[in-house]
Structures are given as structure tokens and as C-alpha cells.
Amino acid sequence: MLVSIDWLRDHFSDQDIIILDTRPKTLLLYGHLIKSQSLTIEQVIQFDQYGSNLVIDPEKITELFSSIGIDDSKTVVIVGDPMDPSAARIAWTFLYFGHDKIHLLDASIIDLQNNGFELTKKSFIPKITTFIPKINSMIRIDAVHLKENFNNFIILDARTPQEFMSGHLPNSKLIPFTEGIGYDGKLFQNKNFLQNLFSKNKISKDDQIVCYCMHGHRASSLFLQLMIAGYRDVKLYDGSFVDWYGRRLPLE
């Protein structure tokens, strides 16, 4: 899933590459990669009565992804900021809607600039396509399913220790998403580091795992860290703490 600057350089001219910049739109005004388009986290979530940041409806995602030129033939490269989990949440959204041809660039915009990539302030105009969602329900869970099957899951909290101590889902285990992010512009730590991190926390690859945080963004980063480490039975609770608390479900 992760690709390097060299990989991007080798594939930059490929006709089937779509580059998405997930940073806040204001940052793109200072420069972004040629051929890249803006896709922010606000565009792939919707709010419910509790203020939860839920995945948007298939009809809306069809319109959105089609408008930026994505269909089954396209390979999506996501560019983000290591400390901002927006790139991870957007990557998870692609996986949820069945688009597996995605990569996350394991480098920052500054790294790209330092390695000879030209930045521009001009907008890229994509060719409109038709995106057809194929929902992968296996990587998402809602509050009802989680509550009814609580004892079947290892529940991981991706928030800070301070947030965890203020209240968390019962029997959940704290693994802040920051423990698995990279340094020097890298999005994540390497596979061996992540495997050791989860092994140290007694997380087995045979476990059924649910990740949550406050709004589902940091939990998306933890979700991807688990996938990189070789875990496969992982679900995102995108409603997360806000949804759980809004429903007045039990906390510890």
C-alpha cells in the first residue's frame, strides 16, 4: 500500500494514475504536485444526530469519485501529512467502497520538493468518469453490531492516554495512533516496527479487531498500521466515541 518517492517518479506519467492531495485546501494554494487534485476529509464524511463523522452514502461517493476521474481502471495515489490522519481516513474510504488500487505516498510534500518534483498553483482538470461502488462491509462496524458482539472483538482505542483515561469503550486497549506513524516525512513506521508494536500489546493476527477514536480519523491510521503489519480481520468503527457516547452506551 505504501509507495516511495522513487516509485512515484517512475509512475508519474502513467495515464491511469490519479494523485489526490488530502491536505487542507488552503495549503494547496502554496503549491501542489502537477496532476494532483484536492480531496479533503470533509468530502468523504457525513454527520449524524450525534455529530459522528460517518462514511458518506454510496450515491454521494459515486458522484464525488466520478467527478475526479476515478473508475476501476485508475490507480489512486494519496498524498498527505504524517501527523494528519486524513490521508488514512480517505484511504480507508476507498477500500470500503471497493477500490483496492490505492497507494499512500510515504513522504511529505516537502520531501517531494526536495527530490526534484515541481509544484504548481494551477488546478488540474480531470476527465470525468463513472465510479461504481462495491461496498466492503467487512472493514466497517456500527454501534449496534459492536454492542451485540462485544466479546468477540479486541477493541483498540487510537486516542491519547488523556482521552482514554477520561472514558473509553469497555475492555478496550489503548494504542495511540501516534506510536505507529513515521518520522522525517514518513507516514508510518516500517512493517517490522508495527508488527513488534502490536505483538508487544498482545494483539494476535487471529483476533477480530475493531479500531476507534473520537471521530474515526485516527482510528483509520491505526487500521492501516495493522494492515501494513499483516493483520487482516480489522474493522473501523467510524462512529467511534462520539457515536457510542451519543447513544448512551456503557463506558469505563
pLDDT tens sequence across 96-124? 999 999 999 999 888 999 999 999 999 99
C-alpha span between 134 and 128 (Å, rounded): 19
Which pLDDT does position 184 carry in this prediction? 77
What domains, with CATH codes, occur in the chain? 2-136 (3.40.250.10), 138-246 (3.40.250.10)
Query: What's the pLDDT score for residue 83?
Result: 84
pLDDT of residue 186: 86
pLDDT of residue 182: 87
Instruction: List alpha helices for 117-190, DSSP H.
Output: 143-148, 161-165
The side-by-side arrangement of strands in the sheet containing 75-79 is 2-3, 102-105, 75-79, 17-21, 36-38
* pLDDT tens-digit map of 57-99: 999 999 999 999 999 999 999 999 878 999 999 999 999 999 9
Confidence of residue 183 (pLDDT cuts 50, 70, 90): confident
Q: What is the mean pLDDT of the chain?
A: 96
Q: pLDDT digits over 129-148, tens only?
A: 999 999 999 999 999 999 99
Residue 188 reports pLDDT greater than 90: yes
Is the pLDDT at 185 greater than 80? The verdict is: no
Helix residue ranges per DSSP H, 29-132: 58-67, 86-96, 109-114
The single-letter code of the amino acid at 69 is G
- Which alpha helices (DSSP H) does the chain contain, by range? 5-11, 25-28, 58-67, 86-96, 109-114, 143-148, 161-165, 191-200, 217-228, 240-246
Q: pTM of the full predicted structure?
A: 0.96
